[in-house]
Amino acid sequence: MKREIVAASFEAGASTSVVAQRYNVNTNQVFLRRLYRNGLLGPTGAPEPALLPVTITGNPPTENARALAPADIGRIEIELPNGCRIRVDVTVDSKALRRILDVLERR
């Protein structure tokens, strides 16, 4: 129905008030559509966002943030009497380490 009203309003010599009466709509609705089509209402809506080019090179890093810490900071080496050695750093989960040590001490 809207397309029909708009098309009728664009016919040569069409009167916005006559078209509005014919379709039982407000004259302003028809008039505003004509202004819009003729570019007299200015830009509508928000401006298009500016997009920046992005370049991806190489493979993305797969290491987690913990592995990125300097190797020397907070690292300790644990050597058990049975010869097993474990190296851990400051990010070690103490409960998990305790379970691992318990298992290795039984070997």
Could you tell me the CA-to-CA distances from 18 to 24, 29, 31, 93 in Å, in that order?
A: 10, 12, 11, 80
The dihedral sign for the CA sequence 88, 94, 100, 102: positive
pLDDT for residue 6 = 77
CB 88 within 8 A of CB 67: no
Please choose, from the candidates 107, 61, 67, 64, the residue with its C-alpha nearest in 3D space to the C-alpha of residue 90: 67
**Model confidence, pTM:** 0.34
52-106 pLDDT tens trace: 677 777 766 665 555 555 666 778 888 888 888 888 888 888 899 998 888 888 8
Largest Cα–Cα separation, the chain:
103
pLDDT for residue 7 = 81
14-48 pLDDT tens trace: 888 888 898 898 888 777 776 777 777 666 666 67
Could you tell me the CA-to-CA distances from 40 to 28, 33, 34, 93, 96 in Å, in that order?
A: 14, 10, 9, 67, 71
| Tally of CB atoms within 10 A around 84 | 14
pLDDT for residue 66 = 55
Instruction: Determine the 3-state secondary structure of 76 from DSSP.
Output: strand
